[in-house]
Amino acid sequence: MVFSIKAALFKINILVFILITFACAFPMYAQDTVPDTLVISIGRIHNQLQGKWGELSISIDSSSSMINQIESFEFLIGYDTHALTMVKVLPGSLIDSGKFEYFSSRPGPFEGCDSTCPSAMMKISGKRDVENGVENKYKIDTPGYLIRLKYLFTSNYNYTCKYVPVRFYWLSCEDNNLTDEADKPICSKTEVLDYSNCKIIANNNHKYIKPLTGCNDMVTQKDTRLILRNGFIHAICNVLDARGDVNLNGCSGEIEDIRMFIDYFLYGVSMFKINYFGQSAATDVNGDGKQLTIRDLIYMIRDFEHRIDHRHCPFPTSEKTINGHLYFIDTDSSIIIKTNSEDSLGGMYMTFYTPDLKSEDEYQIITSTDLQNMDVSHNLQNDTLKMLIFQFSNDQKSATIKKGPNDILEIIYSGARPRLIHASAAGFLAEPVSLKIF
């Protein structure tokens, strides 16, 4: 009997959950009082690849007698600037090719916004007919796309599997407003549904995500309703993301993982033959949201040597930033490279553009005595010379580029001077290093 009661209560809870969800998604009205409803939606993107481009839309999603009354619009949207970079705002198929004669977008910040506003905002405006002496006879008469938003999604892997909301916001009555030829709102009531499809109730922490009162008082038609549906971008959930398991064999931080990571620096992404996205994600061993960095490699080596404090793992063990200088001194046929840092360095990675070098016979790398305890690996690949400096060691002093001034190496070459493309470094315990190039 106890089991039956528990089972019945469980079923009741499930039924209540379904009914609430249904009620949020489909608000009920008496059959004889259903208002004419216009639905405007921000798109919803699933499985967004990180570090890649994407496109989000703002669209009319319902048939309504109000559609062909739309003379102008102004939307204000907000989003997380750490996750999204808006690259371009374009008119959608309903209003492109001159169908709406005026279209513009303007990024924030905007006056009147306090700390509860999102980190990035965009105002988007459009008008069907401008006063230029030529009548525009086009009218929107069907649902479809109003606006296209082209964006770049962050490569920060701390956003993996996360939902990034893109919402409507209000700073004035002009925001998220549709007007007719008389420049009056076409809807008498505005409702906002969050991306969960439930009606938004604003609070002090999110006071700009609900329409301001009194904005629809001058409406032309009574008993009309505008529903605005917020959207989102959902980053793909990479099930292969296991920090430190670069070869994806189920075991993290093995010597084979380190060797594969070293090969990446020298030979490129062709070393990740199993799954590029999964193996790249696995290299973010220090949890700073950046993958494939020299800091990650040094962190992995120090972790293998049991030097990392795992009370803070997988997050960075130090917020200290080491300041360092990197000098390139030209001779007739070589480049002498020197360092000067305020603390010892555990590793360095450099790449050079070398169009005149076709084989390893055409250049030579000579290491100085200041670098005698470090390993210097290099590879020439497709006009690029890649150079990695690191070392395994049980002795910190012998596995570093010492602090202070150092002559580390000389590149002897033929033909055009190699041109630096990239240089980065990490401290002995994978601390960040701020390098200035001279």
Task: Please choose, from the candidates 123, 130, 58, the residue with its C-alpha nearest in 3D space to the C-alpha of residue 94.
Answer: 58
pLDDT on residue 113 = 81
- The Cα–Cα gap between 266 and 289 comes to 22
In a 13 Å sphere around the CA of 82, the CA atoms on its Cβ side amount to 9
Residues 180, 220 contacting (CB under 8 angstroms):
yes
Q: What is the pLDDT of residue 330?
A: 94
HSE on the CB side for 432, CA within 13 Å?
Answer: 11
Taking the alpha carbons at both ends of the chain, their separation in whole angstroms is: 81
User: What residue ranges in 116-188 does DSSP mark as E strands?
Assistant: 120-127, 144-153, 163-168, 177-179
pLDDT averaged over 10-residue windows placed end to end, the chain, 438 residues:
44 47 47 74 92 93 87 94 94 92 92 84 94 86 94 87 92 89 85 80 64 64 82 80 83 91 94 87 85 93 79 54 95 94 94 91 90 90 94 70 92 93 93 93
Q: Which amino acid is at 261?
A: F
In the DSSP assignment, the letter for residue 35 is P
CA–CA distance, 343 with 361 (Å, rounded to integer): 35
CA–CA dist 174, 127 (Å, integer): 14
User: Which pLDDT score, from 0 to 100, does residue 318 have?
Assistant: 55
278 φ/ψ angles, rounded to the nearest 5 degrees: -65, -40
Secondary structure of residue 396 in the 3-state scheme: helix
Condensed to tens digits (0 to 9), the pLDDT of residues 387-396 reads 999 988 655 5
Give all strands of the β-sheet with 384-390 in edge-to-edge order.
Answer: 375-381, 384-390, 345-353, 419-427
Q: Is the bond preceding 314 in cis, omega lying within 30 degrees of 0?
A: yes
Confidence at residue 263, expressed as pLDDT on a 0 to 100 scale = 95
> DSSP character for 32?
G
Handedness of CA 270, 271, 272, 273 (dihedral sign): positive
Helix, strand, coil proportions of the chain in percent (round to 5)?
A: 20, 35, 45
Whole-model pTM: value is 0.59
Tens of pLDDT, residue by residue over 224-262, are 888 999 999 999 886 555 788 999 888 888 999 999 999
Q: Are 385 and 377 in contact (CB under 8 A)?
A: no
Nearest to 414 by CA among 333, 309, 305: 333
Contact 172, 211 (CB under 8 A): no
Going from the N-terminus, what domains does the chain have, and what CATH number goes with each?
A: 33-235 (2.60.40.680), 241-317 (1.10.1330.10), 322-437 (2.60.40.680)
At 216 the pLDDT is 62
Confirm if 77 and 124 have CB atoms less than 8 A apart.
Answer: yes
For residues 104 and 162, is the Cβ–Cβ distance under 8 A? no
CB 303 within 8 A of CB 285: yes
Angle between helices 294-304 and 255-267 (to 10 degrees): 160
Give the residue from 40, 232, 266 showing the smallest Cα distance to 146: 40
- What pLDDT, on the 0 to 100 scale, is given for residue 4? 47
Please state whether beta strands 322-330 and 177-179 pair in parallel, antiparallel, or not at all (unpaired).
unpaired
Q: pLDDT value at position 394?
A: 59
Angle at 392 between CA 391 and CA 394, to 5 degrees: 125
**Which helix (H) or strand (E) element contains residue 437?**
strand 433-437
| Amino acid of residue 131 | E
Residue 389 has a pLDDT of 95
* Token reading at 281: 């994600």
Predicted confidence at residue 98, as pLDDT, reads 86
Structure tokens at 394: 């049980």
Tokens 């006063």, located at residue: 131
Q: Is the Cα dihedral 127, 133, 137, 138 positive or negative? A: negative
241: phi then psi, degrees, rounded to nearest 5: -80, 95
The count of other CB atoms within 10 Å of the CB of residue 219 is 17
